[in-house]
Structure 1
Amino acid sequence: MKWGDLIKLVKFRLTFLVVFSASISFLIGSKVNGGDINWINWIKLIIGGFLITGAANGFNEIIEKDLDRLMKRTADRPLPAGRMTNGQALVLSLLMGMGGTYLLGNLNLLTGFLSVFAIVLYAFAYTPLKRKSPISVFVGAIPGALPPLIGYVAAHPKIDQIALIVFGIQFMWQLPHFWAIAWVIDDDYKLAGFRLLPTGTRSRVSAVVIFIFTLALLPVSLLPTWYHYGGYYVGVVSLICSVIFLYQAFVLMRTLEVKSARSLMFGSFLYLPIVQLMFLFDFINK
């Protein structure tokens, strides 16, 4: 087993983005909890979050090994390519899951509980649903939106209004983000029998649903300003980013082209870190 195979097993880039959103929310939670940042706990969150996410991805790839072999995008992953056995992946995933749970549970019990809940929901609810119903995207959006909530309660062990706002922004963002990806690689997904677009196909109705949920993201992104947790900086930046994002969704609805979905996908990669960083900047400087 090579180091590169472990990187692919844990889906390093995805895991990095997950940990990034959790670390930003940890800093926001630290401000709420008195303003002093416990950097040791921040490091524990990063390492624990990385291990938890890596474990969830590992379990996902064990379950989907035979399906990954059918898709060009995933055929070279270590399990379908035969460079790693199910047993090796299972041991690694269990060790990462236990190590991550220990580190995050050491911060507080709520953080540990949410982390275990994220693994279970992602690996054992979302993963099998992907072949059964487009509802899987809504189910998957819950563990996908838990990282900022986990990061927040790691510093401020209480699910309050700010915690729900950071969760809500990432939850609503997850939907157009994932549907854009599903639109781009729908041909590959079909090879494995995945039904992830709203109607299961690249149809006008699917595009309309994507546009509606992108539109719904706009008011949710303004909640930090509405409830006075952030100032006008985060409000203006969130509004501009949301309007651009909405325009990209409109173009997809109008053209139904893979090129438009790809633009929406790349737009989503920029949207979330910009909005989260501005919320942090505005909140700390209030």
Structure 2
Amino acid sequence: MQKFLNNKVSTVSTIQDKTSIKVLFSDFKQITKVGLSVSVVFTSITGYLLGADKINYTTILLLAIGGFFMVGASNAFNQIIEKDIDALMQRTKNRPLPSKRMSVTTAMVIAILFTIAGIAILYAINPKCALFGAVSIFLYTSAYTPLKAITPLAVFVGAIPGAIPFMLGWVAATGQFGVEAGFLFMIQFFWQFPHFWAIGWLQFEEYNKAGLHMLPMDKKDKGAVVQIIFYTCVMILMSIAPVLKVTGNFYIYPLTAVIILLLGILMLFYGIKLYKSEENIDARKLMLASVFYITIVPIIYVVDKFLH
């Protein structure tokens, strides 16, 4: 009987250990936003492939790891600063810090280690990469995050670190920041407005409750959608501009420009639908179309380059 009880206690203890390890791993993924970090790494690598004359797999690996640490650090700092705000919102109240599953000290250690490792790894590629990585973490943490509680202009500030990954890949490949890297930056910069304002529309009530300003002019109205449509049009123009060969070594075939234009028109279509309906369902479709756009367009650019 005693042996049976001991075995049972041992089994329960093993299950608890496995559960706690699973929770720890899940919390680590949440504090560093692994999904977002991976998507940023993907964008950086496409930027690298666009800029590289000869592919160096060591550089790609360093870019992937350094980029992952860079985004992970930004997200961890962001959640430390916003832990009390996160506790007020349904979508975020179960994150590791507001739910108190993780201490601020632990999160801070992760954030600092990721910052140091990320900048050091990017420096191993070239100093410019390290500089842009450091600027990205600084702006996201020290400007964008606190500004969200003060002004809708936070989205403009946040779009700067958000647009660095695509450009970072080109700088990793060439060691140069020229017109090509500038255009890659601008494509991702202008893309963020329809994307984040669509999210701001969907989460407007939650953000409002938490005191965050995530829509232009702080209003969920047609005026906000006019700005979404305007920035979508600018994004489309930036995305197809390389067909005019005004972007240095970064240029695309006319057929490629047509495909990208059609993808942009898909986003524009949902923007116009949102203007007419002002319904959350159309904001969600716009948000999904924007994710599709920023995933597919870099791939199209890379395919186009290897067809030259």
Q: What TM-score do the two structures reach when normalised by structure 1?
A: 0.96
Within the alignment, does 1:97 sit opposite 2:93 as a pair?
no
CA distance in 2, matches of 1:234, 1:278: 7
Larger radius of gyration: 2
Could you tell me how far apart the structure 2 residues matched to 1:3 and 1:219 are? 42
Query: Does residue 24 of the first structure (1) align with residue 46 of the second (2)?
Result: yes
Q: Distance in 1 between matches of 2:174 and 2:268?
A: 33
Alignment match of 2:296 (pick from 268, 274, 277): 274
Instruction: Note the 1:256-271 alignment, pairs <5 A.
Output: 256-271=278-293
Moved over 2 A (4+): none
Asked if the contact 1:23/1:151 (under 8 Å) is kept, the reply is yes
Q: Which residue of 1 aligns with 2:186?
A: 168
Matched ranges for 1:65-104 at <5 A:
65-104=83-122
Residue 229 of structure 1: which of 251, 254, 257 is its match?
Answer: 251
TM-score in terms of structure 2 length: 0.90
Q: CA deviation at 1:103?
A: 0.5
Could you tell me which residue of structure 2 aligns to residue 132 of structure 1? 150
Q: Please report how far the alpha carbon of residue 235 of structure 1 lies from its aligned counterpart in structure 2 after TM superposition.
A: 0.4
**2:100 maps to amino acid:** G
2:265 aligns with 243
Q: Which runs of 5+ in 2 are unaligned?
A: 1-22
| Residues 201-210 or 223-232, more deviating | 223-232
Aligned to 2:215: 197
The answer to whether the Cα contact below 8 Å between 1:149 and 1:167 also exists between their aligned partners in 2 is yes
The aligned counterpart of 1:144 is 162
Give the letter aligned to residue 168 of structure 1.
M
Letter paired with 2:214: L
Q: Does 1:37 align with 2:59?
A: no
Q: CA deviation at 1:224?
A: 1.9
Match of 1:186 among 204, 212, 215: 204
Q: Measure how far apart 1:77 and its partner are.
A: 0.6
Offset of 1:232 from its aligned partner?
Answer: 2.2
Structure 1 residue 28: deviation in Å?
A: 1.0
Q: Which moved more, 1:272-281 or 1:60-69?
A: 272-281
**For 2:230, which of 185, 196, 212 is the aligned residue?**
212
Aligned residues of 1:233 and 1:278 also touching (Cα < 8 A): no
Question: Paired residues, what number?
Answer: 282
**Tell me, what secondary structure is at the counterpart of 2:260?**
helix
Question: RMSD of aligned C-alpha atoms?
Answer: 1.0
Q: Per-residue deviation at 1:16?
A: 1.3
- Find the counterpart in structure 1 of residue 176 from structure 2: 158
Deviations along 1:263-286, one digit per CA (max 9) or x if unpaired, are: 000000100121111111112221
